[in-house]
Amino acid sequence: MKKNLFLLALILVSCSNSEHFMPDKTIILGVESKNVNEQIKSVTVMPFEIDDSWKHVSTPLMTKINDTFIFCTNETCFLLGYKEDGKKVFSRNIKGRGRGEVLEVNNISSNEETVYIYDVAKGEMELFDINGNFCSKIDGPFPAEYLYPLKDNFVGMTAISLKGDKYVTVFDKEKNEIDHYLTIPDYLKNQSMKFGKTPMSYRFNDSVRFMMPYDYNIYSVSENGIESKYRLVPENPIPTEVLKDMDPNMPIIEKMQLVGPYDDDFQGLFETNRYLYFYYSRTHVLYDKQTGNVFKTENPNQNYNKDLSAEITMDMLWQYFIGSFIPLYSEGDHLYGRIPMSIFYILDDCRNKLDPKLASLLKGLEEYFSMYTLKSDDVIFVRVDFQE
């Protein structure tokens, strides 16, 4: 019976897009699993220098070149750089319509020496060096919502294509269309493709990986074309007929609220050398690519207050940490992100109940606060390392 249910789920998932791909791996999300924190090796505070620029890094887009972290925020269009030891090396306002300026940043990425900032308002790619200096730009407009460099070309997501409604178009530097992939289904046409605080796309080695909304595949575009690297099989997938019968004039988020609930709100997709990390349906998921094991942690059922400290468990403490952690960038075996100040207050209240990993995090936070003064609504950046 369980096998038949799995096959049915796989059929439903595979029909969410008219172009079918056999995935390299299938990830079954409905299985019993251990908690995500059991695979966390350590959580380290990133001691970034705090000054007047700190207000620009609440939830920024983030990348890294060598030992320099680079942030860019869409809200204020500030470009900031910090060394691994926390020292700020540059901060500049790049908002504007001139060369080296941006109006609306949708994604950033980097290679060994260059930061690529895509201005979706102008459809241009602005290039900066490791010191935050403007180098050059790739003239637009590229007709894409997200744009990533891929060797000598660029991969555009939700691009307006000469081939029609394609989710992915590969361009050369002159904006010539080289390849097209994934027909946008009728139910997604003219719909917003933004979900969560970070893009559902990223560069990984020599490829660009992404999830298409309401499609359970994690696709990979490389010089060799497109493939499905992973297919997610949730407990409650969207039946194909539900998507096909939707009113095209209604925002799809409203449609899903009327016909659901289904597992459809995937967010925060990141990948390390060994793990995939993402969020859906109040659940944070860590997938071990090496063993095929799935680890899951649900958001806490209630907000923390001091009255809970007497009965709080270690699993609950990790729920508060993982539930408030927003990943922003992955590199190698590291996952970088931000946590709110409230995590410190929770750990401080419960310091006698902490396991060694959370006790070490609390100690790192106290050392950080001894150097800088943070306000209650400030954020803290951390590095999460997983078990090898």
**pLDDT above 70 as % of the chain:** 90
**pLDDT at residue 320 in the model:** 97
- Checking DSSP bridges between strand 25-28 and strand 225-233, what pairing results, if any? parallel
pLDDT at 70 > cutoff 80:
yes
pLDDT at 370 > cutoff 80:
yes
CATH number at residue 155: 2.120.10.30
**pLDDT at residue 163 in the model:** 60
pLDDT at 96 > cutoff 80:
yes
**pLDDT at residue 217 in the model:** 95
- Checking DSSP bridges between strand 177-183 and strand 164-171, what pairing results, if any? antiparallel
What does 161-190 look like in DSSP terms, one character per residue?
ETTEEEEEEEE-TT--EEEEEEEPPGGGTT
- State how far the Cα of 301 lies from the Cα of 304, in Å rounded to an integer: 9
**pLDDT at residue 251 in the model:** 74
Q: In this structure, are residues 94 and 102 in contact, taking their beta carbons and an 8 Å threshold?
A: yes
**pLDDT at residue 307 in the model:** 85
Assign 4 a pLDDT band (cuts: 50, 70, 90): very low
- State how far the Cα of 37 lies from the Cα of 190, in Å rounded to an integer: 39
Q: In this structure, are residues 352 and 17 in contact, taking their beta carbons and an 8 Å threshold?
A: no
Q: In this structure, are residues 115 and 129 in contact, taking their beta carbons and an 8 Å threshold?
A: yes
Average pLDDT score over residue span 43-56? 92
| Poorest-pLDDT segment among 15-19, 143-147, 314-318 | 15-19
- State how far the Cα of 126 lies from the Cα of 128, in Å rounded to an integer: 7
Predicted model pTM: 0.90
At 362, the amino acid letter reads L
Which helix (H) or strand (E) is 79 found in, with range?
A: strand 78-83
**pLDDT at residue 164 in the model:** 66
Assign 195 a pLDDT band (cuts: 50, 70, 90): low
Angle between helices 356-371 and 314-324 (to 10 degrees): 50
**Structure-block tokens of residue 79:** 């470009």
**pLDDT at residue 196 in the model:** 64
Which one, of 204, 255, 184, 152, lies nearest residue 19 by Cα? Answer: 184
Give 58's contacts (C-beta < 8 A, 6+ positions apart): 73, 75, 379
Q: In this structure, are residues 89 and 68 in contact, taking their beta carbons and an 8 Å threshold?
A: yes
**pLDDT at residue 19 in the model:** 62
**pLDDT at residue 208 in the model:** 96
Which one, of 348, 350, 339, 335, lies nearest residue 275 by Cα? Answer: 335
What does 258-318 look like in DSSP terms, one character per residue?
HH---S---EEEEE-SSEEEEEETTEEEEEETTT--EEEEEPPSS---GGGTTT--HHHHH
pLDDT at 183 > cutoff 80:
yes
pLDDT at 184 > cutoff 90:
no
Assign 1 a pLDDT band (cuts: 50, 70, 90): very low
**pLDDT at residue 165 in the model:** 79
- Could you tell me which residue, 3 or 87, shows the higher pLDDT? 87
Number of domains comprising the chain: 1
**pLDDT above 90 as % of the chain:** 64
Residues 295, 298, 299, 300: is their CA dihedral positive or negative? negative
Task: Judge residue 221's burial from the number of C-beta atoms within 10 Å of its C-beta, 0-12 exposed, 13-18 middle, 19 or more buried.
Answer: buried
pLDDT at 388 > cutoff 90:
no
Q: How far apart are the first and last CA of the chain?
A: 35
**pLDDT at residue 18 in the model:** 45
Strands (E), 85-130: 88-93, 105-110, 115-119, 124-128
Q: Is the peptide bond before 141 cis (omega within 30 degrees of 0)?
A: yes
**pLDDT at residue 2 in the model:** 38
Which one, of 353, 284, 267, 366, lies nearest residue 321 by Cα? Answer: 284
Give 227's contacts (C-beta < 8 A, 6+ positions apart): 21, 24, 219, 220
Averaged confidence pLDDT in the chain: 88
**pLDDT at residue 252 in the model:** 72
Average pLDDT score over residue span 140-157? 91
- State how far the Cα of 317 lies from the Cα of 327, in Å rounded to an integer: 18
Assign 159 a pLDDT band (cuts: 50, 70, 90): low
- State how far the Cα of 261 lies from the Cα of 234, in Å rounded to an integer: 12
Assign 265 a pLDDT band (cuts: 50, 70, 90): confident
pLDDT at 42 > cutoff 50:
yes
- State how far the Cα of 319 lies from the Cα of 312, in Å rounded to an integer: 11
Full residue range of the structural domain in which residue 209 is found: 2-386
- State how far the Cα of 267 lies from the Cα of 59, in Å rounded to an integer: 15
**pLDDT at residue 161 in the model:** 55
**Structure-block tokens of residue 142:** 């590229």
SS3 352: helix
